[in-house]
Amino acid sequence: MEKKAVKNIWMLSREYGELAGAGGVKDVVYQLSKALACLPDYSVKVVLPYYGFMEDLVDDFVPVKDPFSRARSLQLSIPMNEPGRLVSEPVSFCYARRENVHIYLIKALRFTEKRSVYTYTKQEENGWKKLAAGHHDYFAMNLLLQKGALELIIALGEHPDVLHCHDGHTALVPALVRELAGYRTYFRKTRCLTTIHNAGLGYHQEIADIDYARAITGFPDEVVANYQLDAKFDPLLVAGAFAPVNTVSENYAFELQHSNGDQLTGWLGHEFNKRGILLEGVTNGIDPDYFSPMADSIEEELRFDPADPQEELAGKDNCKKRLFQDRRDLVSYDGVQRFGCLSASPDGPLFTFVGRLNEQKGVDVLLEVLPMFLLQYPKATFAILGSGDLTFESRLAELAAAPVTAGRICYFCGFSPELASLVYRAGDYFVIPSRYEPCGLTDFIAQLYGSIPVVNHVGGLVKVVDGVTGLAFNGATPDALLGGLQRACALEQQLPTKREMQRRAVEIINKQYTWSKVVYNYLDLYARK
């Protein structure tokens, strides 16, 4: 492979850190950008939409000035054609530099009217805007971000070495800069990389309206015709044809290309194989300092260090007591609604779950197992934080109130970073029964907080070494999950083994999975042509 040094890197994403997020993408883009920006002479820019919920998060941002008239803000008109009709949308931009990363937000009505990254909120619910349903104009939002970013780069006179595109939302950029005449000339020396954070059905950002796809992208007929999956124009398939693509763990890349697990993607990986597209895997890193239970922001009595073999983790016990006691009288906390409370003894094992409530995460399996497991182990308790499928939310609320399980389950509906941190730190075991998991960051976070992951050994979760850094089971089935939970309860009778598992998990993360190490895998991909 031909390689060249890269120094000027632009990230395009719908999510970024605490500015905008709905899942692990926000953490990866944020932490990878920070790691790159720490390297000598590297310049890292990130472009994402200015959503309507950002008002209180962007006080330090300033309008981007027009390079040809510094007295006015930069305003551009972006082609967003529809079949048989020429359409353009006005955009402006604002900018801030945070942690040595240059961040640009694209302001447009299509973005500012949205109150969530991908779905409609209760605040927006009205007629065809259904709570938790995806935005009806998702494809136009994605194109406006991609074209807006490219036009911004041109207006600023920037010449990126690499455009790093994250997920299907920005996966058309490699084709845009090669197929559209104006972009092709300007970006002729720019390389692209697309990272697929999740290839599952519903994550491709595909579109069935082929005429609309042709009009709004501006692609030649053959591009729209040749890159369809299940009769839909598929951005991920396009990305693989025009530039290198990677996904977020080696094992997930293998599963997509060489196993029946690819059926959960609509056989995208097998289509890559058929077309000779190489899908590489780079396991995500993590910033241990960002998830440190010894952080200054944590109260002193709640601090502990799972990496210290002499540490007895008194701070973790205090976190558990805090979760059991201080939250009992609260109906809501930091915007999160609470159902039930933990009234059993905090001396028993506390199992936790933080994440989206959907079938991918195996929440249906967890709900089936919970009653029988808690009946078998009277001292075990569960704390669950998340939102998603309304049926799963209702079922968890019912279990938290049911006489048989009341006091054993506490369900926090929603998300709060502060509460999530407490749940992670309080837990003895962190349950991940996912049907598939491209990488998994929650297992890393749990380990850094001294909580032992209990995982279905799929995708990126194979980095949890069974019996060494966590507990693994095989298959998203009730029997398999129950077996994993039973092993965790048995481990409570082997506390020295449990303590060594906590220590080793942190040690291995620090040796292999910090972003300061993983970043070089991306530099290698950036340098390829």
Both tokens of residue 137? 């104009």
Output the CA torsion 438→162→14→214 (10° steps). -100
Alpha-helix runs per DSSP H in 334-452: 363-376, 390-401, 417-426, 442-448
Q: Which of 112-116, 333-337, 380-384 has the lowest mean pLDDT?
A: 333-337
My answer on whether 206 and 307 are in the same domain is: no
Beta-bridge partners for 66 = 69
My answer on whether 305 and 272 are in the same domain is: no
Is residue 293 in some structural domain? no
> Residue 467 and residue 469: Cα distance in Å, rounded?
6
My answer on whether 149 and 232 are in the same domain is: yes
Q: Which of 63-77, 294-308, 326-340 has the lowest mean pLDDT?
A: 326-340
DSSP state of 123: T
Question: Could you tell me if 396 and 367 are in contact, meaning their C-beta atoms sit under 8 angstroms apart?
Answer: yes
- Phi, psi of 137, rounded to the nearest 5 degrees: -100, 30
Is residue 43 in some structural domain? yes
My answer on whether 231 and 364 are in the same domain is: no
Determine the pLDDT at residue 23: 81
Model pTM score = 0.92
Determine the pLDDT at residue 1: 44
Taking residues 130-157, report their average pLDDT: 96
My answer on whether 522 and 411 are in the same domain is: no
My answer on whether 428 and 503 are in the same domain is: yes
Determine the pLDDT at residue 132: 77
My answer on whether 76 and 58 are in the same domain is: yes
My answer on whether 46 and 119 are in the same domain is: yes
Q: Which of 121-125, 272-276, 438-442 has the lowest mean pLDDT?
A: 121-125
Is residue 237 in some structural domain? yes
Is residue 54 in some structural domain? yes
Both tokens of residue 306? 């799972």
Question: Could you tell me if 412 and 397 are in contact, meaning their C-beta atoms sit under 8 angstroms apart?
Answer: no
The residue among 218, 183, 188, 272 whose CA lies nearest residue 82 is 218
My answer on whether 356 and 280 are in the same domain is: no
Interval 286-319: pLDDT, tens: 999 999 999 999 999 999 999 999 999 999 999 9
Question: Could you tell me if 192 and 163 are in contact, meaning their C-beta atoms sit under 8 angstroms apart?
Answer: yes
My answer on whether 502 and 522 are in the same domain is: no
My answer on whether 89 and 223 are in the same domain is: yes
Question: Could you tell me if 439 and 251 are in contact, meaning their C-beta atoms sit under 8 angstroms apart?
Answer: no
Cα 414 → chain centroid: 16
Residues in the chain: 529
CATH number of the domain within which 408 lies:
3.40.50.2000
Taking residues 274-296, report their average pLDDT: 95
Determine the pLDDT at residue 123: 87
My answer on whether 202 and 348 are in the same domain is: no
Is residue 294 in some structural domain? no
Other beta carbons less than 10 A from residue 240's beta carbon: 25
Q: Which domain holds residue 461?
A: 300-512
Q: Count of domains in the chain?
A: 2
Is residue 292 in some structural domain? no
Is residue 370 in some structural domain? yes
Is residue 291 in some structural domain? no
